[in-house]
């Protein structure tokens, strides 16, 4: 037994360079550095106010929920391009049902969530059973839901329902005088739930197993079909929930809401250290990714002279950097 | 030859279904617009529904042609929309800075700069895919995200309008009674046909996309081929960007070329090129792009609310993809296919393929 | 001899793929408490047999029974539950998950749906320890060397059938190890064997597939030999020496080749066309020295997995060597990629037509022209008239049927596809042509034609490296014979009247020369 009893994990400092948590740490430190930079530079403008930090959650809660859904899909090695459209559609559907049909939000919300989840289920079904690339199927989903938005109405529908308004304005007070919105709280609950599901349920572990090797998962006798379809259903559900949060945030439905948001969601996931090839990553990383992207937006706002498009460029640069990191990590792991 | 075998021979031609779909789409318009196929000559310019379909479809045709080559190598380019925006923005910026916006030299300079930028974008994608070995979807996603930002950076977040007759020629002008963009499209089409079929580029692209390992062992330098495909795709998108901005005499970094990558991929797929790479059909792609443009026009003319356009497209994408999916055909027409070629059932399982056990670690 | 009842019995097994018989009426039996080697060259039907057992393929005829009860295996999961577990060469684990999870995934201890990690680790540690290993079960399996992963896969497999046994669901314990040792070093193989012996002693029946004869003799009790989809023999390992075994595996195939007279040593003097010194690749082939002269046919003999293909791939630049040098025409060259080798007049016909040769989308003409075109570069297409003339010439010369250059290559038969690939390389006028199993899986007529072609090419001055599992072919065609065994070029002998199949077999079997 000599070789094996000696042979712990590979000798080349596995824990340091190949630890799957490394990218999350990189992103988290990036966040800290950027935040520190902001705090130093915009001291006079109250950057260090706790509310500035809380606003990151308030302003990006819907993105966090969508990105968590996308994390499930990407962990299996798939991709979901329909995120933005489902969000847009949910805002439209909600606004239409509440405003034009006079239904209470309490009835509308479950309907919207069910529609999103069912859309995700359908896409997952087609992807798995007809062996069509997820990219194409969810692209069709992107068209479809954006189209449905326009079918509901070409015009934006603003929501004046007092219940919605009350919900949107509710502040959840935090110690120290800062507060969160309901949407931000919901997004954090979703994050916690996703963490639990991914790490403490068999379903969650299957998600990782499929991302590691679908072939192996199949030969190990795991229910691959069900898991893959479920993952797209989760993503559809999360997108719809993100849509509801976005509706609260903006208090209107608009066929052009959240156009291209899938890119932000995917970027957050990647910057958060999840491998696009699947099998490695954490929802906590996704949170870091969302916070970094959100912070870029805030910094650019604080700077004042910088224009909003720098957000996109910075996102692209970050994406590139993290994809390169991923690439070298996977290359080393294989070698 | 019996009628049924004639029918089969016709339907098996790869252009049959796309062209049939195009014709049906065109015919649907006739009851709604009685003069749909008429073409008038007004002020020395040709007008008519068919002319406008081609005119408005030109940028899409261009982008789709580039996309075809990229897809044939087994890749995909999501960044074409961003490249369209960058190229339009840069050209409009250059023209708007000129003292005399009508100066031909200035316009040509703007074209040159815009196309150079598009070329750089294409080369960037090509390098990421071929040199660094990053998955094409992911590699081009970077430019898809950042490119829009760059385009807005160029326009300063504004819509740059230009007032130049020379500039608006390429996208909206007429020449010899025909829309000038028609000539540009024709030129690019001929150029790409010559480039792929008169040189060996087409063959090598199809070989790389059809079987990458076999191509490597046959001595093909597949990196070079891939980079060229992405560069060509970038250039096509660049020309399309010029056309779009020239048509409206303005550059909008945010909205120019929005979704065009999706339409282009759709056109390529409808045209019969498989998303997994290999054989490509430029003719099919052009028909595919025309179908998409006609679909848009048809939705306008038959009075269906225009907003259903996207839903229509989604349905078309799904139908086309389902028909291309072997798994779907098996399930849907299982009995039929199985009887005709029993070998289909167990692909790759023939005797000499199955026991491939040797491994070279 | 009174034998116990077999735990697994397969009778008259038939499996066809697209009309070709991969297995025709094979019997196979496996007794508890034995390690049973399944042997055969490429195409013998080993992997088909295993895939039938593991439920990857379904039977076309015959019966399978476990513990005397007939069973119908429908899929991998069901096979596992019935007590048949398989560990493949390319370890089927999820590299990203921990050792513990890989062992227990799908069976994690849960309470109210929540995975109990502590208990999971304890269970896994217990299992790992029971098999005599000492691993950190919470480390990702991918961080361990392949050998350990192999063992983890075995632990998973065995623990599943154990669990099935406890539930009374199965109880038969069959473990199939499909080429588990091909990427392991000596020490690692020892570890594996220790575990295998231990399981055997506990009563498990183990099927062991390996290309390394010494390993078979070291660890196996019984063996079954297949050839061309039929059962050749079943023997106790102790009853059959290596020489007899190799003969049984390779067999003789004299068939229709009588027209071809034996073709022996020619003076191979002067400067060699290609010479290697210490060229090698870890895990592929040990460093070797080789010379090939113009007009010489160098035959490479050896069993499947002996390193024949790996050697050829190094000569062609298809894999990067770890060390050593290659001289072509007396000049040292760097073969970094196939196009470097092609540029120096080397051509390589891969044994794997489908994956490494054909571009199935393309036509016969395009497939034929491909290598020449690649060498010329994309800007200089072969002129149409010249191209059509060349293609027509080679279609005629090699008698490719149908003689239609526009036919899709995927519609051709195996033999004709092989000729298409040969034509592809002949068009480049190579100085050295490497043929890896050019006659495998093609009909007898095409085989004879390809062999005749090799003779005439060498007479025209082309050097040929000819790799074949069929010894007769190598003996008939070669001027010089290189013998490989266990990833090592063990011998190089000049062919002559005194070189017989027996002598080459002896070298293959013993690894010793003279």
Cross-strand partners of C35? C206
C36 and C85 housed in the same domain:
yes
CB contact under 8 A, B217 and C356: yes
Of A141, A276, A310, the CB nearest to B135: A276
DSSP A45: G
Report the pLDDT averaged over residues B195-210: 92
- The bridge status of strand C69-71 relative to strand C61-66 is antiparallel
Query: What's the confidence (pLDDT) of residue A335?
Result: 39
Query: What's the confidence (pLDDT) of residue A39?
Result: 86
Contact residues, chain C, for B204 at CB < 8 Å: 373-374, 378
Query: What's the confidence (pLDDT) of residue A59?
Result: 92
B259 and B118 housed in the same domain:
yes
Q: What is the dihedral of CA B64, B66, B69, B73, to 10 degrees?
A: -100
B200 and B78 housed in the same domain:
yes
Question: Does a structural domain hold residue C355?
Answer: no
C84 and C22 housed in the same domain:
yes
Tokens found for residue A225: 């079909």
Question: Does a structural domain hold residue B355?
Answer: no
Task: Compute the nearest-CA separation of B351 from chain A (Å).
Answer: 22
A67-94 confidence digits (pLDDT tens):
999 999 999 999 999 999 999 999 999 9
C185 vs B299: CA distance, rounded Å:
68
Question: Does a structural domain hold residue C124?
Answer: no
Helices and strands (DSSP H and E) totals, chain A: 15, 4
Residue B222: closest C-alpha in chain C = C374
Question: Does a structural domain hold residue C466?
Answer: yes
CB contact under 8 A, B352 and C46: no
B161 and B277 housed in the same domain:
yes
Cβ under 8 Å to C: A residues 24-53: none
**Alpha helices, DSSP H, located in chain B:** 3-12, 16-29, 49-72, 80-97, 104-126, 136-155, 165-172, 180-193, 201-210, 212-217, 222-248, 260-270, 282-301, 309-324, 326-332, 334-340
CB contact under 8 A, A132 and B321: yes
C385 and C508 housed in the same domain:
no
Substitution target in C77, C118, C143, C160 with the highest count of A β-carbons within 10 Å is C143
C463 and C417 housed in the same domain:
no
Residue C81: closest C-alpha in chain A = A221
How many residues in chain C? 514
Name the residue among C103, C166, C169 with its Cα closest to residue C131. C103
Residue C88: closest C-alpha in chain B = B357
CB contact under 8 A, A131 and B327: yes
B82 and B172 housed in the same domain:
yes
A302 vs A306: CA distance, rounded Å:
9
What does the DSSP assignment read for C401-427? SS--TTSBGGGS-HHHHHHHHHHHHHT
B327 and B257 housed in the same domain:
no
Question: Does a structural domain hold residue C353?
Answer: no
A90-146 confidence digits (pLDDT tens):
999 999 999 888 889 899 999 999 999 999 999 999 999 888 888 888 988 988 998
Contact residues, chain C, for B351 at CB < 8 Å: 17, 20, 22, 43, 229, 441
C487 vs B305: CA distance, rounded Å:
70
Question: Does a structural domain hold residue C154?
Answer: yes
A165 vs A180: CA distance, rounded Å:
16
Q: Which domain holds residue B271?
A: 46-295
Interchain CB contact of A73 with B (< 8 Å): no
Contact A58, A180 (CB under 8 A): yes
- The bridge status of strand C114-115 relative to strand B39-42 is unpaired
Q: Token match 């068999």: residue? A: A202
Please identify, among C234, C250, C266, the residue that sits at the C-terminal boundary of a domain.
C250
Task: Compute the nearest-CA separation of B139 from chain A (Å).
Answer: 8
B159-194 confidence digits (pLDDT tens):
888 888 888 888 777 787 788 888 999 999 999 999
Tokens found for residue C247: 């003969």
Report the pLDDT averaged over residues A263-284: 89
Please state the domain count of chain B.
2
CA B317 to chain CA mean position, Å: 15
Could you tell me which chains touch chain C, where touching means 3 or more CB pairs under 8 A?
A, B
B323 and B223 housed in the same domain:
no
Task: Compute the nearest-CA separation of B81 from chain A (Å).
Answer: 12
Report the pLDDT averaged over residues B46-58: 85
- Please name the residues in contact with B167: beta carbons below 8 A apart, sequence gap of 6 or more: B91, B92, B95, B101, B107, B110, B246, B249
Question: Does a structural domain hold residue B236?
Answer: yes
- Please name the residues in contact with B70: beta carbons below 8 A apart, sequence gap of 6 or more: B76, B77, B136, B229, B230, B233
Task: Compute the nearest-CA separation of A220 from chain C (Å).
Answer: 7
Interchain CB contact of C109 with A (< 8 Å): no
Interchain CB contact of A166 with B (< 8 Å): no
CATH number, domain at C454?
3.40.50.300
B282 and B315 housed in the same domain:
no
B99 and B52 housed in the same domain:
yes
C59 burial (CB, 10 Å; 0-12 / 13-18 / 19+) is middle
Task: Compute the nearest-CA separation of C180 from chain A (Å).
Answer: 16
C374 and C482 housed in the same domain:
no
B103-149 confidence digits (pLDDT tens):
888 889 999 999 999 999 999 999 999 998 888 888 898 898 889 88
B227-267 confidence digits (pLDDT tens):
999 999 999 999 999 999 998 888 888 888 888 888 898 89
CB contact under 8 A, C92 and A280: no
B330 burial (CB, 10 Å; 0-12 / 13-18 / 19+) is middle
Query: What's the confidence (pLDDT) of residue C19?
Result: 63
Cβ under 8 Å to B: A residues 295-314: 307-314
Q: Which domain holds residue C373?
A: 361-428
A65 pLDDT more than 90: yes
Of C304, C348, C370, the CB nearest to B207: C370
Task: Compute the nearest-CA separation of A24 from chain B (Å).
Answer: 19
CA C58 to chain CA mean position, Å: 23
B321-343 confidence digits (pLDDT tens):
777 677 777 777 755 544 444 43
How many residues in chain B? 361
CB contact under 8 A, C93 and A213: yes
CB contact under 8 A, C339 and B200: no
C324 and C438 housed in the same domain:
yes
CB contact under 8 A, B351 and C305: no
Contact C59, C230 (CB under 8 A): no
How many residues in chain A? 335
Task: Compute the nearest-CA separation of C21 from chain A (Å).
Answer: 26
Please identify, among C181, C215, C250, the residue that sits at the C-terminal boundary of a domain.
C250
Query: What's the confidence (pLDDT) of residue C69?
Result: 85
Of A131, A147, A312, the CB nearest to B146: A312
CATH number, domain at B75?
1.10.3470
Contact B87, B115 (CB under 8 A): yes
Interchain CB contact of A281 with C (< 8 Å): no
B133 and B205 housed in the same domain:
yes
C122 burial (CB, 10 Å; 0-12 / 13-18 / 19+) is middle
C258 and C313 housed in the same domain:
yes
Report the pLDDT averaged over residues B285-311: 81
pLDDT class of A8 with cuts at 50, 70, 90: very low
Size of interface A-B (CB pairs under 8 A): 132
Mean pLDDT, contiguous 10-residue spans, chain C (514 residues):
76 80 87 90 79 85 87 81 80 87 89 91 91 86 84 85 65 80 77 87 88 85 88 88 79 46 56 90 89 91 84 92 90 90 93 88 92 90 91 90 87 85 93 90 76 89 89 86 89 84 82 59
C154 and C288 housed in the same domain:
no
Question: Does a structural domain hold residue B240?
Answer: yes
**Which residue segments constitute the domains of chain A, with CATH numbers given?**
19-334 (1.10.3470)
CB contact under 8 A, A263 and B141: yes
Task: Compute the nearest-CA separation of C188 from chain A (Å).
Answer: 7
Contact residues, chain A, for B76 at CB < 8 Å: 135
Interchain CB contact of C48 with A (< 8 Å): no
B310 and B204 housed in the same domain:
no
C422 and C437 housed in the same domain:
no
Q: What's the complex ipTM? A: 0.84
Where does C205-345 show beta strands of DSSP type E? Answer: 205-209, 222-227, 230-236, 274-281, 285-292, 297-301, 323-328, 331-333
Of A14, A220, A279, the CB nearest to C143: A14
Please state the domain count of chain C.
3
B278 and B325 housed in the same domain:
no
Query: What's the confidence (pLDDT) of residue B340?
Result: 45
Contact A255, A248 (CB under 8 A): no
Interchain CB contact of A330 with C (< 8 Å): no
**3-class SS at B230?**
helix
Rounded to the nearest 5 percent, the helix, strand and coil shares of chain C are: 35, 25, 40
Contact residues, chain B, for A126 at CB < 8 Å: 318, 322
Question: Does a structural domain hold residue C105?
Answer: no
Contact residues, chain A, for B253 at CB < 8 Å: 309
CB contact under 8 A, B349 and C18: yes
Q: Name the most confidently modeled range: A207-216, B18-27, B327-336.
A: A207-216
Contact residues, chain A, for B315 at CB < 8 Å: 144
Query: What's the confidence (pLDDT) of residue C66?
Result: 86
pLDDT class of A15 with cuts at 50, 70, 90: very low
Of C113, C114, C142, the CB nearest to A333: C142
CB contact under 8 A, A8 and C136: yes
- Please name the residues in contact with A74: beta carbons below 8 A apart, sequence gap of 6 or more: A266, A269, A270, A274, A275, A276, A278, A281
Could you tell me which chains touch chain B, where touching means 3 or more CB pairs under 8 A?
A, C
Instruction: Round to the nearest angstrom and report the end-to-end CA distance of chain C.
Output: 40
Question: Does a structural domain hold residue C102?
Answer: no
Query: What's the confidence (pLDDT) of residue C78?
Result: 80
B219 and B315 housed in the same domain:
no
Question: Does a structural domain hold residue C350?
Answer: no
Query: What's the confidence (pLDDT) of residue C168?
Result: 60
Residue C148: closest C-alpha in chain A = A4
Query: What's the confidence (pLDDT) of residue A131?
Result: 83
CB contact under 8 A, C51 and B354: yes
Please identify, among C428, C456, C472, the residue that sits at the C-terminal boundary of a domain.
C428
Please identify, among B271, B295, B319, the residue that sits at the C-terminal boundary of a domain.
B295
């Amino acid at each position: 037994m000599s070789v094996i009893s000696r042979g712990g994990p590979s000798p080349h400092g596995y824990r340091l360079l190949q630890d799957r948590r490394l990218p999350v740490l990189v992103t988290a430190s990036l966040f800290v550095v950027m935040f520190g930079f902001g705090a130093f530079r915009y001291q006079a403008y109250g950057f260090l106010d706790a509310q500035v930090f809380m606003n990151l959650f308030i302003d990006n809660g819907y993105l966090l929920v969508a990105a968590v859904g996308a994390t499930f899909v990407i962990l299996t090695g798939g991709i979901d391009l329909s995120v933005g459209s489902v969000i847009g559609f949910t805002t439209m559907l909600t606004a239409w049902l509440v405003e034009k049909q006079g239904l209470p939000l309490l009835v509308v919300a479950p309907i919207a969530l069910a529609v999103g989840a069912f859309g995700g289920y359908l896409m997952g079904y087609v992807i798995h059973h007809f062996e069509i690339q997820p990219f194409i199927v969810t692209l069709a989903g992107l068209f479809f839901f954006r189209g449905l938005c326009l079918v509901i109405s070409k015009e934006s529908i603003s929501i004046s329902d007092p219940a919605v308004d009350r919900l949107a304005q509710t502040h959840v007070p935090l110690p120290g005088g800062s507060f969160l919105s309901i949407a931000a709280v919901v997004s954090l609950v979703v994050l916690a739930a996703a963490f639990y599901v991914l790490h403490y349920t068999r379903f969650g572990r299957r998600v990782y197993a499929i991302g590691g090797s679908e072939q192996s998962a199949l030969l190990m006798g795991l229910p691959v079909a069900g898991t893959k379809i479920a993952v797209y259903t989760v993503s559809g559900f999360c997108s719809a929930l993100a849509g509801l949060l976005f509706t609260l945030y903006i208090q209107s439905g608009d066929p052009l809401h959240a156009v291209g948001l899938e890119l932000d969601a995917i970027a957050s996931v990647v910057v958060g250290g999840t491998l696009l090839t699947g099998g490695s990553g954490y929802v906590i990383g996704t949170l870091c990714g969302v916070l970094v992207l959100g912070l870029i937006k805030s910094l650019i706002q604080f700077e004042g002279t910088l224009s909003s498009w720098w957000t996109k460029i910075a996102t692209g640069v970050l994406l590139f950097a993290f994809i390169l990191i991923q690439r070298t990590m996977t290359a080393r792991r294989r070698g | 030859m019996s009628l049924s075998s004639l029918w089969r021979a016709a339907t098996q031609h790869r252009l049959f279904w796309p062209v049939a779909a195009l014709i049906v789409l065109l015919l649907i318009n006739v009851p709604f617009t009685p003069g749909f196929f008429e073409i008038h000559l007004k002020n020395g310019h040709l007008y008519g529904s068919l002319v406008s379909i081609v005119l408005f479809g030109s940028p899409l045709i261009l982008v789709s042609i580039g996309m075809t080559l990229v897809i044939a190598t087994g890749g995909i380019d999501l960044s074409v929309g961003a490249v369209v925006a960058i190229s339009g923005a840069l050209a409009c910026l250059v023209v708007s800075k000129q003292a005399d916006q009508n100066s031909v030299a200035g316009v040509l300079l703007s074209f040159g700069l815009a196309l150079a930028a598009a070329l750089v974008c294409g080369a960037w994608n090509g390098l990421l895919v071929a040199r660094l070995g990053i998955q094409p979807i992911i590699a081009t996603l970077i430019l898809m995200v950042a490119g829009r930002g760059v385009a807005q950076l160029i326009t300063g977040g504004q819509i740059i309008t230009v007032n130049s007759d020379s500039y608006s020629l390429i996208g909206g002008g007429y020449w010899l009674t025909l829309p000038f963009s028609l000539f540009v499209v024709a030129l690019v089409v001929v150029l790409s046909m010559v480039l792929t079929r008169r040189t060996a580029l087409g063959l090598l692209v199809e070989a790389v996309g059809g079987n990458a390992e076999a191509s490597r062992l046959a001595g093909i330098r597949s990196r070079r081929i891939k980079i060229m495909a992405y560069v060509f795709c970038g250039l096509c998108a660049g020309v399309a960007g010029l056309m779009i901005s020239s048509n409206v005499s303005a550059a909008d970094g945010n909205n120019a070329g929005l979704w065009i990558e999706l339409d282009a991929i759709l056109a390529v797929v409808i045209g019969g090129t498989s998303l997994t790479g290999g054989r490509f059909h430029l003719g099919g792609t052009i028909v595919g792009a025309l179908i998409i443009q006609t679909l848009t026009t048809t939705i306008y003319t038959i009075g269906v609310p225009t907003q259903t356009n996207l839903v229509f497209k989604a349905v078309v994408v799904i139908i086309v993809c389902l028909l291309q999916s072997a798994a779907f055909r098996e399930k849907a027409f299982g009995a039929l296919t199985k009887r005709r070629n029993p070998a289909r059932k167990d692909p790759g399982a023939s005797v000499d393929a199955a026991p491939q056990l040797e491994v070279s670690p | 001899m009174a034998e116990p009842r077999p735990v697994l019995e397969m009778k008259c097994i038939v499996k066809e793929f697209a009309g070709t018989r991969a297995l025709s009426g094979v019997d196979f039996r496996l007794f508890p408490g034995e390690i049973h080697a399944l042997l055969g060259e490429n195409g013998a039907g080993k992997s088909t047999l295993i895939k039938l057992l593991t439920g990857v393929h379904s039977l076309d005829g015959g019966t399978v029974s476990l513990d005397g009860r007939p069973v119908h295996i429908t899929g991998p999961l069901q096979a596992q539950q019935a007590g048949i577990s398989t560990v493949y060469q390319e370890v089927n684990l999820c590299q990203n998950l921990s050792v513990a999870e890989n062992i227990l995934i799908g069976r994690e201890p849960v309470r109210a749906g929540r995975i109990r990690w502590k208990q999971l680790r304890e269970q896994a540690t217990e299992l790992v320890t029971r098999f005599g290993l000492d691993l950190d079960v919470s480390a990702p399996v991918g961080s361990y060397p392949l050998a350990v992963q192999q063992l983890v896969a075995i632990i998973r497999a065995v623990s599943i059938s154990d669990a099935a046994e406890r539930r009374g669901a199965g109880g038969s314990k069959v473990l199939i190890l499909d080429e588990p040792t091909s990427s392991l070093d000596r020490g690692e193989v020892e570890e594996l064997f220790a575990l295998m012996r231990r399981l055997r002693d506990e009563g498990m029946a183990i099927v062991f597939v390996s290309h390394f004869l010494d390993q078979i003799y070291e660890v196996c009790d019984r063996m079954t030999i297949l050839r061309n989809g039929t059962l050749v023999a079943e023997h106790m390992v102790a009853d059959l020496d290596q020489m007899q075994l190799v003969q049984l595996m390779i067999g003789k195939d004299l068939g229709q080749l009588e027209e071809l007279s034996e073709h022996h040593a020619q003076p191979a003097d002067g400067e060699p066309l290609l010479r290697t010194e210490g060229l090698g690749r870890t895990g592929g082939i040990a460093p070797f020295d080789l010379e090939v002269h113009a007009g010489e046919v160098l035959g490479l003999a050896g069993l499947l997995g002996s390193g024949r293909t790996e050697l050829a791939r190094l000569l062609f630049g298809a894999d990067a060597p770890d060390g050593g040098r290659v001289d072509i025409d007396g000049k040292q060259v760097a073969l970094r990629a196939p196009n470097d080798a092609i540029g120096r007049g080397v051509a390589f016909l891969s044994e794997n037509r489908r994956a490494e040769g054909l571009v199935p989308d393309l036509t016969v003409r395009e497939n034929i022209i491909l290598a020449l075109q690649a060498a010329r570069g994309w800007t200089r297409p072969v002129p149409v008239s010249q191209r059509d003339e060349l293609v027509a010439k080679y279609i005629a010369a090699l008698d490719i049927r149908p003689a239609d250059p526009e036919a899709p290559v995927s519609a051709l038969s195996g033999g004709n596809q092989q000729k298409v690939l040969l034509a592809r390389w002949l068009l480049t006028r190579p100085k050295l042509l490497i043929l890896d199993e050019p006659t495998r899986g093609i009909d007898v007529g095409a085989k004879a034609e390809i062999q005749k072609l090799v003779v005439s090419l060498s007479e025209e001055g082309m050097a040929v490296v000819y790799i074949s599992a069929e010894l007769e072919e190598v003996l008939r065609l070669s001027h010089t014979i290189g013998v490989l065994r266990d990833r090592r070029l063990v011998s190089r002998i000049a062919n002559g009247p005194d070189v017989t199949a027996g002598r080459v077999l002896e070298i293959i079997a013993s690894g010793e020369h003279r």
